[in-house]
Structure 1
Amino acid sequence: MTVVQLAEYGPAVSVALPDAAGRTLAASRILDTAAPDPYRSGHWRLRAGSKVGAVSLAVPGGDPVVVRITPKVPIARLFFLIGYSLDPRGWRDGEVEVGDHDELLPALAHAVERQVDRALRQGLLQGYRAAEDTALVVRGRIREAEQIRRRFGAALPVEIAYDEFTTDIAENRILRAAVERLLRLPGVPGDVRRRLLHQRVRLADVTPLVRGQELPVWHATRLNARYHHALHLAHAVLGGSSPEHTAGELRMDGFLFNTNKLFEDFVTVALREVFRGTDRTCRLQDPHHLDEAGEIRMKPDFVLYGPEGAPQAVADAKYKAEKAGGFPDGDLYQMLAYCTALGLPDGHLVYAKGNAPHAAHRVRHASIVIHQHALDLDRAPADLLGEIRSLAWQMTPGATV
């Protein structure tokens, strides 16, 4: 087995790979760079971007190739960002066990198994599920239209619909789907895999989800409170970028998180939580148009509206570390367009880390100031959320948040 170890946004490395494997990586766009090395025959230059996790390529007639991409932030902090984005009011740092694993996939598998075990410790949750059946006795209500269409007026059997009290409910189906997804992935440690197999046995009577099928809907209630953390992690597993395709006889499978999207979700959700309970309205991925004809679309990550419905602040999250030459100019132009279209005098770009905590640029002849903020993701969760609150205050000076 060939194992390629890369770091998120790290330097490119030259790796000996079969041409088929290299071409598949290049076509998948998992990496920022995947191209033949012009200086070394049979080698490919690989560089990771914002996607972290692991993928495996089964090479016909050769050893499998595993590409592992480690995130810049510690695994425990990454799980806090994921959990907070999914459940900001119920998630707390330290509630998810990642064991001694320092790689994303083993830690994720360990965390999901521990949370599923905790959820099922009191037995499988039961609930009511709408069911339809053909029976000799009436239970629930008769489906009159189906009775006429199928039975042509015959009294028996009866087409019925009823609510069934069962363990085959959305919550359990989602947990089973997440467990089975992890069992298919490469790189899950043997001891974790054995525990996941045990959880699948506990969920054996639950109907499995069909691959590609939309996840069933569940709602957080007091009755399913012990399932909440397990379900949020299960959604992270099932919603993660999961390359599964075949190029000729070459199969690629894996699990990846996009840290760009993760950072964007965390920042916007955390800002929304700061303004919860105030007289302001927050909209995420808010669609607008730059031109009067409505032909040039734009979608800021976060727009804050005042009590009267007018925009008060706009922010965009960018998972990019500041370089020696400063923040990327393209981000400034994008924010300038947002401010102009929304009629705002200030715009806010939020980066992950950086050389300076804050910078401001006053645009000539426009009376617009573009602020650039940098969040330190290495800080403790409470401190990180404090930075978000400080950012919210800067976006709305003089307001109480």
Structure 2
Amino acid sequence: MNKAVIVREYARLTFAELAENTLDQAQISPSAFRWLVELGQQFRANGLALLELDNQQWLRLDNYVGVLESPCGQVIEILPKHRSSTNCIESARQLLCKLICNALDIKSRNTSHTSIERFDTSLPEWLMRQFLQELDTLFKRGLRFDYQRVEEQQRFLHGRLDVNKQLRQPPGREHLFNIQHDIFSADRAENRLLKTALSKVCTATQDSENWRLAHELQSLLHELPQSTDIQQDFRHWQESRLMAHYQAIKPWCEFVLNLHVPLAVQGDWRGLSLLFPMEKLFENYVAAELGKALAQTPGTDKELRTQLASRYLCTHLQQDMFQLKPDLSLSLGGLGQPTQRWILDTKWKLLDGVARDDKYGLSQQDFYQMFAYGHTYLKGHGTLVLIFPAWDKFPVYTKPLHFSFDPNLQLLALPFDLEDENSAKTLISLLQHGFKQSSTAAA
């Protein structure tokens, strides 16, 4: 198996000889290179951008993060680009795993098991470790058994005789009884899926601790069959109260069985792959943190809405055209204060807070978009907010970047610290209590 390659967003990959692999460029096997090129074509056919082919020897990744495993065994771990430093693998893994857990509403175990704060292993091994730990906990609580109806022919009576079948018994088989009876078995959809995922982990893991735990658990499931139809078995996964202790392991089982991978990856070969658009992970995390902070903010009239889609840019022949979908809408008021409303949009891009001549790295297209949001959702009066990730050149303590479309419509560009649990509270406080005009930049 080829050695795993660790890169980050927008890295360049090649099969040519390199002196040293870095987070921004790395060498992969020629077969993995060809597989990625084909995969990129499949993505483009589905309207997605996974990579761009620079020339016949280089390709550049886009903003997808996660893990890809090629049929030849080449593992490519793609981390977020959240810092300018090239020595940030551990913090990038920590950030990515936290964002993945948030996006899928998963709580990683951090009590008796390995904490999410520890990253002494690769992302695939971390993923398999979470699955194994949840499966170990499930075993301690007990697998769910169920009664299953069995219809068979036996030389003795057991259960209920199927009279209709018995009357149609052909000559020479009168000594066999057609019987029906129930058995109490663990052979149910949920357990078959767990057995299938566990078998995959036993084959894929390279970590000694994961290998030990996986084979230990496999010995407890040796009598269970594997799933022959994964999609069908997941549709039969029960969500009842009696199955509540199975809910924690379901997302990890889906991960291992590649159900959280874009459609283009799901072909004859899947390996152990998972991909997420970093823009979406950032948006989901900001929304979740703002929701938590808003619940702790004083006020009786407060609301956070995601993915608004009630306004259009224009009409044509009495029909709406070009739907406008801002990421977030935040309303806050009550307790003697008037209700205020802000339209927020998240952008996964590293701004330079002092590069005024370069417009701080802001996109003119984003400003056109926010201008449209302001006139459709705020009627041209209020404050719009662009939220960017905080980093070395755009830290949380920087002065907000303030822009004016006109005296009634303002826009703020604010940093959001993904490593600070109070970042959402700080952002809400800033919006609620305003900002000093003299401390901002104007455009």
Per the normalisation by structure 2, the TM-score is 0.64
Q: Secondary structure at the match of 1:372?
A: strand
Give runs of aligned pairs for residues 204-283 of structure 1, distance below 5 A. 205=224, 208=227, 210-213=229-232, 215-216=235-236, 219=239, 227-237=246-256, 238-241=258-261, 243-246=265-268, 251=269, 253-258=271-276, 259-276=278-295, 279-283=301-305
Taking the aligned partners of 2:8 and 2:323, their CA distance within structure 1 comes to 31
User: Match of 1:49?
Assistant: 63
User: Match of 1:328?
Assistant: 362
Give runs of aligned pairs for residues 149-164 of structure 1, distance below 5 A. none
Q: Which amino acid aligns with 1:328?
A: L
Taking the aligned partners of 1:255 and 1:364, their CA distance within structure 2 comes to 44
Counterpart of 1:368 (choices 401, 409, 415) is: 409
User: Match of 2:38?
Assistant: 24
Q: Against the structure 1 CA distance between its residues 45 and 347, is the aligned structure 2 distance closer, same or farther, given a 3 Å change threshold?
A: same
1:387 to partner: Cα distance: 0.5
Give runs of aligned pairs for residues 118-133 of structure 1, distance below 5 A. 118-125=137-144
5+ residue gaps, structure 2, are 17-29, 44-48, 82-90, 153-158, 161-177, 435-443
Counterpart of 1:78 (choices 86, 90, 96) is: 96
Counterpart of 2:329 (choices 290, 298, 303) is: 303
Counterpart of 2:123 (choices 97, 101, 104) is: 104
Q: Against the structure 1 CA distance between its residues 171 and 336, is the aligned structure 2 distance closer, same or farther, given a 3 Å change threshold?
A: farther
Q: Is the 8 A contact 2:385 2:411 kept in 1?
A: yes
Taking the aligned partners of 2:361 and 2:208, their CA distance within structure 1 comes to 44
Taking the aligned partners of 2:132 and 2:80, their CA distance within structure 1 comes to 21
Q: Against the structure 1 CA distance between its residues 93 and 121, is the aligned structure 2 distance closer, same or farther, given a 3 Å change threshold?
A: closer
Taking the aligned partners of 1:366 and 1:165, their CA distance within structure 2 comes to 73
Counterpart of 2:382 (choices 332, 335, 345) is: 345
Q: Is the 8 A contact 1:287 1:297 kept in 2?
A: yes
Q: Against the structure 1 CA distance between its residues 26 and 319, is the aligned structure 2 distance closer, same or farther, given a 3 Å change threshold?
A: same
Counterpart of 1:33 (choices 48, 52, 61) is: 52
Q: Against the structure 1 CA distance between its residues 236 and 322, is the aligned structure 2 distance closer, same or farther, given a 3 Å change threshold?
A: farther
Q: Against the structure 1 CA distance between its residues 295 and 54, is the aligned structure 2 distance closer, same or farther, given a 3 Å change threshold?
A: same
Q: Secondary structure at the match of 2:406?
A: coil
Q: Secondary structure at the match of 1:295?
A: strand
1:31 to partner: Cα distance: 4.0
Q: Against the structure 1 CA distance between its residues 119 and 52, is the aligned structure 2 distance closer, same or farther, given a 3 Å change threshold?
A: same
1:112 to partner: Cα distance: 1.5
User: Match of 2:76?
Assistant: 67
Taking the aligned partners of 1:22 and 1:9, their CA distance within structure 2 comes to 15
Cα RMSD over matched residues?
4.3
Higher relative contact order (CA 8 A, sep 6+): 1
Q: Against the structure 1 CA distance between its residues 45 and 121, is the aligned structure 2 distance closer, same or farther, given a 3 Å change threshold?
A: same
Percent identity between the aligned chains? Answer: 19
Residues paired across the two proteins, number: 353
Please say which of residues 342-351 and 353-362 is displaced more in the overlay.
353-362
5+ residue gaps, structure 1, are 38-42, 59-63, 138-156
Q: Is the 8 A contact 2:51 2:62 kept in 1?
A: yes
Q: Deviations over 1:69-96 (max 9, x none)?
A: 24454433433333344448x6686676
CA radius of gyration, larger in:
2
User: Match of 1:386?
Assistant: 422
2:335 equivalent to 1:318: no
Q: Which amino acid aligns with 2:382?
A: P
Q: Is the 8 A contact 1:361 1:371 kept in 2?
A: yes
1:360 to partner: Cα distance: 3.0
Per the normalisation by structure 1, the TM-score is 0.69
